[in-house]
Structure formats: structure tokens, C-alpha cells
Copies of this chain bind each other. A is one copy, B any other.
């Protein structure tokens, strides 16, 4: 065995030169850079959360709930930008683990509202701590451009996030 630990094999050269080829046609496309930046940074967060046995998708749900007394699944779905049907299994899992409580809505039998439990609040803080660690790295990378970055990203989300028929 050869051993070279870092043997680098494929062009990737792992750490050796850290250079990722960007296809020429993509170099000027904001959408490409946006996608790659988001995916790589989110995966780093997800990996860290996963090591603590936490689902990254829970973070936004718990955080949104942490800021409001209670909400219906539909409200949660709109604010988190996920289809309602996607929430069904998440809420089931969160409820099963005692992180949220469901309570029937007396005014509407179809609906119910969801509220964080004490454990849920604890879990939210734990996930937030992990997120903040990662975001600090993003802050460093953005440096003085952070405000501009957030402003532009916000405009993008506002523009494309409009319900299509508006």
C-alpha cells in the first residue's frame, strides 16, 4: 500500500490546489454561482447538524415557531417556503419527538395549530448555535460586502418568490 494519504487521484486534488473548474459558459451567470455557493455552504451546515443527529430542515421550522406562539401548518409552509404536503411528515416527526405540540383549532375543525414545547425551544437554540457558527464563516468571507450581499439576495428572493400569478 501505497499509501499516500492524500493521494490525490483524480483531478480533484483534494486540497492540493483547491481549484474548481468553472465552465466558461457559467462564469458570468449569477444563477450558477448562487447555486454552487448555496449548495456547498448548506451541505456544510447540514453535515454539522447531522452529526448532532439534527435534521437541517427542522431548523427553519423550529425557528419560525420560536418567534410566534403558534401557527397552522399552512402558515408555516408559506413562511418557510415549503409545500404544505412537505410539512406533514416533518411535523409528525417533530411532534413524535416532543418538540412541538398540536392543538385543535376550535374555530375550524379542519385545522390545528402548532406550538413549540420546552424541548423544542432547547433544540431550536442548539440548531441556531450550529447555524451561527457557519454563518460566522460566511460573514468573514463576505467581509465588508455583507450588507450589499444580503440586500441583493433579498431582492432576488422578493422578485422570484412572488406567487407566480401576481
Binding site for B on A (CB under 8 A): 1-3, 10-12, 14-15, 18-26, 28-45, 47, 60, 63-64, 66-67, 74-75, 78-79, 81, 128, 131-132, 134-135, 137-139, 141-142, 145-166
Given A150-B2, A161-B40, also A78-B34 (CB < 8 A): no
Distance between A69 CB and nearest chain B CB, rounded to angstroms: 12
B-side contacts of A163, CB under 8 Å: 12, 14-15
Q: Do the beta carbons of B2 and A151 come within 8 Å of each other?
A: yes
Q: Do the beta carbons of A30 and B75 come within 8 Å of each other?
A: no
Distance between A36 CB and nearest chain B CB, rounded to angstroms: 4
Q: Is the interface of A mostly helix, strand, loop or mixed?
A: helix
Q: How many copies does the complex hold?
A: 2
Given A20-B157, A135-B30, also A147-B1 (CB < 8 A): yes
Distance between A129 CB and nearest chain B CB, rounded to angstroms: 12
Q: Do the beta carbons of B146 and A15 come within 8 Å of each other?
A: no
What's the Cα separation between A10 and B71 when bound, in Å?
Answer: 10
Q: Do the beta carbons of A74 and B10 come within 8 Å of each other?
A: yes
